A and B are shown apart, each in its own frame.
Chain A
Amino acid sequence: MAEERQVVVETVQLSKLFRDFWMRPKVKALDRVEFQVFRGEIFGLLGPNGSGKSTLLKILLGLLFPTQGRAAVFGRDPRNLAIKDRIGFMPEESYLYRYLNAEETLDFYGRLFNLPSAERRHRVELLLEMVGLTHQRKRPIVEYSKGMARRIGLAQALINDPDLIFLDEPTTGLDPTGTREIKDLILELRRRGKTVLLCSHLLADVEDVCDRVAILYGGRLRRLGSVDELLSLRAKTQITTDRLNAATIEQVVSRIHELEGPGMEVSVQTPRDRLENFFLHVVEEARAARLETSGVTVGAKPSAFFSGIEREQKADEILQELLKTTAEKAAEPKVISDTEEQPVVVVPLAPEPKADEQMISGLLKESIPSDAARTAGAGGERAAAEQQQVVLPVSGGSGDDSKTTQDVLKDLLNTRKPGSDEENTEESRTRKTEQ
């Protein structure tokens, strides 16, 4: 599969040695690093401070040159001007001109791409709206908070509608709302065929959005793979249902012990919502009450100029269109991993949404359910008190998506016998059914 995909970024035996003034070796920042980033994926670079990820990023941006090995972006040397038209870069720090305001900043970078004046103005408008800085457009950047500066940094990275976007710590300094918006935007960029390479210390962010990650330590590549491959707890099975009464739980547990043996470890607990979701809920309430703020407004609406979108469409219309499309997609179960390990089945429930859910759904309407379900956050949440999780070491999968949870559980408890084919889960497919 990977071999058929277009390679956007590639490093081959990439090494970087920093020398001192007398050309004596000082630091070996990268040591024979090899990886590929494919078109349309979100690739995460992880590593502690000094692991070499910034150096790697700078080599890929042409700001540093390799000592040995090769780095290629779109198949060419990173210093090649021809590829730079297709690249966007959001740095970790704000390297923007402090005396320019947001509008001038975006206009300046747009000019460097030789964008025609009308097109540039149009993009500036959309990007300012997207990052929620329309009302702060005339303020000099020096007066911006760190979060606002990061937002404008992101906007400048997207001014040229790049095919490949480098994001260095994209959510650092942002409030949870901003973090969510950025993550949603990253996912949206991928949906439109963009490739994203991001460096982050915030592992939760990487886990939420990345398809594949590379972990660097001491300049060497330690792990490389998909997030699912790397993070799956293959020795565990988790079932999430609506709230069950104590008798049912007891029955389920005893049935599991009956089928899987008395030594099977089963824990039943009420899942917690994520603090991020809770916070966003509170903020949305405040917004609904029309409290004033001097900070950013709601942003993260993807700008209409991104490729793959009809330019005449208004952002809202595009957004509705996007939501319609993704909602249709979400109605079907989605295979997200082809691993030949033991399956994990998350069985969805389909209750009527409660008032809180509607609010959260409204707030997160720009999120993409398929991804949100994976992140257990964006749009697919249940009120925590209404859910219970059953976590057991081994379970089988069910392919009938039209059934309710109770049906599935019933099937699970009644039909699966020890030693059946499905128990030998070598060939089972991991499934995640989404709402």
Chain B
Amino acid sequence: MDFSGAVYQVWTIARQSVVQAFRMKVAVVLVVFMLIMVPSLPFLLQSDNTHEGLLRMVITYSVMLITFLLGVLTLFLSAITLNTEIKNQHVFLLDPKPLARGTLLLGKWCGVMLINLILLTIMLGATYGFMRYLGRQTKGESQEGYDLVQWDLLTAREVAQPPLPPLEDWVQKEVKDIVANGEVPEGKSIQWVEKMVRQRLSKAAWIVPAGGVAKWTVSGIPKYKGALLIRFRHYADGQLSDPVLPGKFTINAGGQPYSTFEGEFSVGKPHSVGVPSDVVKPDGTVEITYENKYAPRDANQPPAVRAEFPFEDGIQVLYPAASFGENLIRAGAVIFMRLAFIAIVGLWASTFLSFPVAVLLSLVVFMIGYAADFILTGLVGQLVLFGPTMVPPWAPVNPVDNVIRTVLNYFFLMFPNFSQFDVVPNLSDGMIVSLGSILSCFLWLIVVRGGVLALTGWLIFRRRELAATTAAT
């Protein structure tokens, strides 16, 4: 069979699967359900009574709903499509044709993905239209709210952060000091010490004492017209009666133009402030200066409170990198790849299992994918079978438990972690879904995990006696 012939056969099988899904009304029912659900969300959900909050809710829940529903649909479709061919003995007519079993599998997968592509396009298209409609509604109420929605939500921003201190150097220096001072805990290795130090320093922050000033330079920002968003989050090290910390930010201090904002900012929460993009210097840098204006109001307050800006997300500059529509397409690409993986799992299971068992197995993989974070950190990471249970985290782990944890960690490596490829936070935050994350999703989900499953599924299916279940009867 020549390559173009095989491609044509794949297309034929895929097309057939799509016709089947639509004529059997499965896909139609789902589309109708989604088209009813998405516009109903504003009425069903409780937001914070702001337009921005409402839009954030809508985009969050509609994308979650789409991802979940299409995931379940894909799981069932992929598990049933091959099993139906076998159970209804359609394969008795397909297999005697010059159709390689691998081509049949690939055709089935393409068919499921074609259905997904159609449904995803319809659903994301409806979501896009609805978000745009809701966004326009805010203009009638206040220009400020409208701008905020446009800058903060209906956009796709890239994040630029100040360069981090040389954390690794700090780690090495601290470990060296611990070893030199003979402070390594008994029974622990230097690697363990290093790990502990790295964990601690990862939570480190920029510290600005009361009355002090900090200055960050953020680079790599393109020149554009519009608003630049400064996002910050800080903590206070003292016991404040009112958890707010007065401070003043100046952008491009000493330069022209410059922007400044001052106020009492609640601690522990992210704050976003829009400034004109003119503050970006020609070399693409922005200077942010913060002044800790804390002063005790009365004797009950601590005399001095430090502001702590975590390295992780203490100071961020957000600039538009793409439109909301483009971001939705990127998000769609990630969702599509997740669905592609689920389809591979479903088909893989049906190469050797009957429909109910194949669905069950696929469902297990699906649920593990959703709960991977909890399973790895909450269950496997805390697993204690043989050692004492009530011990501090730094206490040594029982060796048997350690082995079990390691084995389970490797075992769960086989399963995907969907939270790594979750686009909902990006969309609800107006953050761009980076090409890197799309590529990473493709590589780890489709090429590596999907590739292994596809290969084993093909090997099993080509050796399977398709008439074995009925021949002996």
Interface residues, chain A, CB within 8 Å of chain B?
18, 26-27, 29, 54-55, 58, 61-65, 81-82, 84-85, 87, 89, 91, 93, 95-97, 99-100, 104, 108-109, 111-114, 156, 166
Contact = CB atoms under 8 A, between A and B. Distances in A.
A62 B95 contact: yes
B224 interface: no
B465 A65 contact: yes
B391 interface: no
A235 to B, nearest CB: 41
A99 B95 contact: no
Contacts of A29: 471-472
A160 to B, nearest CB: 8
Contact of A112 (B9, B466, B472): B9
B19 to A, nearest CB: 7
Given A62-B95, A63-B471, A111-B12, 6 more contacts: A18-B471, A64-B468, A81-B98, A89-B93, A95-B92, A112-B97
B24 interface: yes
A202 B91 CA distance: 26
Contacts of B5: 114
Nearest to B1: A81
Interface of B: 1, 5, 8-9, 12, 16, 19-20, 23-24, 88-100, 465-468, 471-472
A93 to B, nearest CB: 7
Contacts, number: 87
A62 B8 CA distance: 22
Contacts of B1: 81
Contact of B465 (A54, A64, A99): A64
Nearest to A82: B98
Contacts of A81: 1, 98-100
> At the interface, is chain A mostly helix, strand, loop or mixed?
mixed
B92 A112 contact: no
Nearest to B93: A95
B472 A18 contact: yes
A199 B1 CA distance: 30
Contacts of B98: 81-82, 84-85, 112-114
B96 A87 contact: yes
Contacts of A114: 5, 8-9, 98
B20 A55 contact: no
A91 to B, nearest CB: 5
Contacts of A95: 88-90, 92-93
Contact of B92 (A85, A91, A109, A111): A91
A58 B93 contact: no
A62 B464 CA distance: 10
Contacts of B99: 81, 84, 112
A112 B471 contact: no
Nearest to A156: B93
Contacts of A84: 96-99
Contacts of B95: 61-63
Nearest to B465: A64
A349 to B, nearest CB: 47
Contacts of A54: 471
Contacts of A100: 19
B17 to A, nearest CB: 11
Nearest to A17: B472
A209 B284 CA distance: 88
A131 to B, nearest CB: 16
A76 to B, nearest CB: 13
Contacts of A87: 96
A96 B20 CA distance: 12
B12 A112 contact: yes
A67 to B, nearest CB: 11
Nearest to B104: A112
Nearest to A54: B471
A96 B96 contact: no
A63 B465 contact: yes
A401 B34 CA distance: 82
A97 B89 contact: no
B97 A97 contact: no
B92 to A, nearest CB: 5
Give me the 5 closest cross-chain CB pairs, A-B, nearest first: A63-B467, A18-B472, A84-B98, A111-B12, A99-B23
